Amino acid sequence: MKLSACLAGMVAAGLGWGAGSALAQQPLTEVTFGTNWIAQAEHGGFYQAVADGTYEQHGLKVTIVPGGPRASNRMLMTVGKLDFYMGGSMIQAFSAVEKDIPTLVVAALFQKDPQVLLSHPGQGLDTFESLKTSNDILLSKDGVATFFQWMKAEHGFKDEQVKPYGFNPAPFLANKRAVQQGYVTSEPLAIEKAAGFKPNVFLLADHGFSTYSTTIETRRETVEKNPDLVQRFVDASIIGWSHYLHGDNTRANALIKRDNPEMTDELLAYSVARMKEHGIVDSGDTAKLGIGAMTDARMKDFFDKMVKAGLFKADFDHRKAYTLQFVNKGVGLKLTK
């Protein structure tokens, strides 16, 4: 073990993780964190922790490696080229364990997955249940393979209702009876700007799609050999999210726009507002356990739904996909009050 890691461990043991200033006096440990898409507000807490020095206060020098359509950050983390990875839903994490990929989810920054379905108002598609009357539900292949299987098992949707979605809103805009997938933090704004109306927005999480999202994943080996590093990264990321949503996020947004020059201030502000409105980060167990919270009960609830949807076998041990070792400690809780 490096001297810096030993010293950091001693500080943590003696003073607790609130001793960020003491940690910052030690040589910084370099850490790489890969996201799963290009820079955006949905990554804001991580950028905030870089921008305001929170990672440094926890003894870390963090480099964020943006994802994108041609990136393979999950694989890079798996083979040790990246230290941490920003996962999506728990379906990916369960699948990794099923394939004997030695990764673990160590925190969940989103209590609600931001996945939504959108419909035109005033067309008889104004409730989630009424979406079953549409024969033009525009979904990506990934959407069909994941959340739509739950929609079928839990809510009675049918395969014949699905039409391919090419991430272009034109077919949705041209067909008033169409339903389109999207994220609550972006697509509703894009449609409103393009067509001049506000679509109905149905957040799947509010209708029982209970997965955690925007997780922090790392290799099982890292958890076993360097839990000190994992704890510091998790704690600092949690504080970063508290600051991003409830403090001054100007510098974080500047870093996001540096990594994604096409990002606009309007979309950043819209995304933050929607995350707050829908409790994407702050809701449920976070009121008592803090941002990043995870529970065995919530994990089992979602896993059981995925078994019912046919994605996993009932005898699969889903608990191998995550650990509660680094969360539920109330880190940053006072910052959200």
Residue 37's pLDDT is 96
Average pLDDT over residues 63-77: 95
Asked if 243 and 249 count as a contact pair (C-beta separation under 8 A), the reply is: yes
Residues 87-124: pLDDT tens digits?
999 999 999 999 999 999 999 999 999 999 999 999 99
Q: Which residues contact 191 (CB under 8 A, 6 or more apart)?
A: 118, 169, 172, 173, 197, 199
Q: Which residues contact 334 (CB under 8 A, 6 or more apart)?
A: none
Question: What is the distance, to the nearest Å, from the Cα of residue 331 to the centroid of all Cα atoms in its chain?
Answer: 18
Where are any strands of DSSP class E within the chain? 29-34, 60-65, 84-87, 103-110, 115-119, 137-139, 162-164, 179-183, 200-203, 213-219
Distance (Å, whole) CA 48 – CA 242 = 9
pTM for the complete prediction?
Answer: 0.91
Distance (Å, whole) CA 91 – CA 114 = 14
What are the backbone angles phi and psi of residue 24, rounded to the nearest 5°?
A: -65, -20
Asked if 62 and 49 count as a contact pair (C-beta separation under 8 A), the reply is: yes
Residues 300-327: pLDDT tens digits?
999 999 999 999 999 999 999 999 999 9
Residue 19's pLDDT is 47
* Farthest-apart Cα atoms in the chain, separation: 65
| Helices and strands in the chain, H and E counts | 16, 10
Higher model confidence: residue 25 or residue 160?
160
Asked if 234 and 107 count as a contact pair (C-beta separation under 8 A), the reply is: yes
b vs e for 149-158, b when ≥16 Cβ sit within 10 Å of the residue's Cβ? bbbbbeeebe
What count of other Cβ atoms lies within 10 Å of the Cβ of residue 6? Answer: 12
Residue 332's pLDDT is 82
